Structure 1
């Protein structure tokens, strides 16, 4: 890994250094840990000393150069699942204070477009336009693979004392599942729910569905260790598609099919399985990103009067709900953190996640 220095800035506050260590993208597959100026918060921003930043599939896309609207190479720091301690606040911020532990939602909408005014800030019409106020931490703006990070005050949440930093890196992930559930109606009590994909989003959604009163939660995947974790976290049934015909197994369990099917895996083959396992008049929720176009039987969806939903990210103020559920002990994140790396080994961390070395579930960078 190459070590580079960039220009420094004056300290942003008492005890805050002028420079920090940060991962910076210099091109596809070229991430370097460098010295970078510690940013100073604007009036409505907060400077946080990062404790931990999680990794997900989006970070691999960013690393490979396949994610849109990222800042220019040579200055851009990724990382959108971070948590830490407030060290400085902008002059208009009174909701938080230095010493507060916080977690984040990555997206902050512009606050001025039609979608933001409707609360759809993860679908901001000015997405990526910093001049109009939009920022997505670690995606369209610098994120948390650095010793310090800045974010808008409205996208930070004070953490309860009983919620750990390891829990907190999964809070944004939990917000993704909760936002999707809200979009489908938010009422799953007594319903049969199928979740494809036992990754972090799927596992946090398993917990959310059980806490919201789902009758049966059926988790489907290919990796035994993740399915075992799903059962531990509350899934009533787990199905390993390498061993079992998932479609038939779900029909055997539910009779007419599931009331709600949630696709979190990102596999291009899974949407068709969703169509084949949802009951007539049921719902399908898609929250995953896919590596390419997806083909499935849309005519069957229409014939069976199935409603399809998509949501992006952790919108609808659902991170706040996730924080509350974590405080009550109803969402567990820490158990999903399987691998920790220091910042200087970030490329190794990305490799471990990509190659699934050591069966990682959630890989994090720690400071």
Structure 2
């Protein structure tokens, strides 16, 4: 039987020390302890409240993530929330005690792409918290202060741990350019899909369909604001019916499914993390249908600001997606739960 700690009773940690999960190589991890790291100039140290586990963390552990997008040994954890407990030189001391989340991409802010606002396309190359830089599967995290997004006093930090996937969902919604009255479909009702549904519902679409083979996930999407929830088989006859389609599942055939749902001249946004074996798009369908296809990998600063604002204003409520919480030293068990339990929602590690 899996023990789920009470959300308000995190394990005690020694103020003078800090633990972290370290993945030395695919399939090998350990829990290390040492002094609490000190923030350098323009950096902050954050006491981690909670950190979410997602499919890309599993890829990191199994060694299936592209080698250019991981650097071993590494402490994973790119979905997190916490409280600033120390600041380095050049950082406003008033940040201490603030509840925060932060962007993961370490963009240079100087190249052409960054100056356009496309910080996830930084020409310096890929560099992200939890993959190439130490992440939040730890008691504390040190990172550049410029990446922070402060939250209001009293913000629900357990819910806020899902603001990273919410920012990715926000990037997809912004890319889709949805207008009030549009017919919109979301393919996939996992964490990313349900968060996208919540954001899309605020645009007052004419229809908001969630597509997922799991009935329980469809019910979550309905609670999030979808007007209908259907399985892929049930929408087979609805081809060419939607102004905008967001693909969030990353399953082998879902990119093609999304394109088939889009109307002629419609927009398709691919946001799911497609792995090996993903089926290609049909170029004839794209050309004859004059579809606009966009893709999303991570979230630029504008999408983060949008997601944090929606969370602050109550338009984004991710707490219901959290289904299990594990202490840090049970990282391996938590990772297995994400991998082996199709019914698992968002699993959090709690230092």
TM above 0.5: yes
Residue correspondence of structure 1 range 181-260 to structure 2 within 5 A: 181-185=173-177, 187-241=178-232, 244-248=233-237, 250-251=238-239, 256-260=240-244
Q: Is the partner of 2:211 in helix, strand or coil? A: strand
Task: Look up the match of 2:9.
Answer: none
From 290, 295, 309, give the equivalent of 1:310: 295
Cα offset for 1:316?
3.7
Cα offset for 1:325?
1.2
Cα offset for 1:324?
1.5
Alpha-carbon distance change, 100 to 136 in structure 1, aligned in 2, over 3 angstroms? same
Structure 2, gaps ≥5 residues long: 1-13
1:267 equivalent in alignment to 2:267 = no
From 149, 159, 169, give the equivalent of 1:157: 149
Task: Look up the match of 1:28.
Answer: 26
Contact 1:103–1:158 (8 Å) recurs in 2: yes
Cα offset for 1:312?
1.2
Contact 2:39–2:45 (8 Å) recurs in 1: yes
- Determine the C-alpha separation between the residues in 1 that align with 2:93 and 2:247: 36
- Determine the C-alpha separation between the residues in 1 that align with 2:300 and 2:94: 21
TM-align CA RMSD: 1.7
From 304, 307, 310, give the equivalent of 1:319: 304
- Determine the C-alpha separation between the residues in 1 that align with 2:37 and 2:123: 26
- Determine the C-alpha separation between the residues in 1 that align with 2:272 and 2:152: 29
Residue correspondence of structure 1 range 113-152 to structure 2 within 5 A: 113-128=111-126, 135-152=127-144
Q: Residue deviations 1:198-233, cap 9 Å, x none?
A: 011100000000112222110001112111111111
From 259, 264, 270, give the equivalent of 1:280: 264
Residue correspondence of structure 1 range 1-12 to structure 2 within 5 A: none
1:71 equivalent in alignment to 2:71 = yes
Q: Residue deviations 1:152-171, cap 9 Å, x none?
A: 22221111235311211111
Q: How many residues align?
A: 335
Cα offset for 1:197?
0.7
Task: Look up the match of 1:42.
Answer: 40
Cα offset for 1:51?
0.7
From 310, 324, 336, give the equivalent of 1:339: 324
Structure 1, gaps ≥5 residues long: 1-14, 129-134
Contact 1:123–1:312 (8 Å) recurs in 2: no
Normalising by structure 2, we get a TM-score of: 0.91
- Determine the C-alpha separation between the residues in 2 that align with 1:280 and 1:273: 14
Q: Residue deviations 1:128-181, cap 9 Å, x none?
A: 4xxxxxx41111100000000012222211112353112111111111111122
1:172 equivalent in alignment to 2:156 = no
Task: Look up the match of 1:9.
Answer: none
Q: Highest relative contact order (Cα 8 Å, sep 6+), 1 or 2?
A: 2
- Determine the C-alpha separation between the residues in 2 that align with 1:345 and 1:16: 21
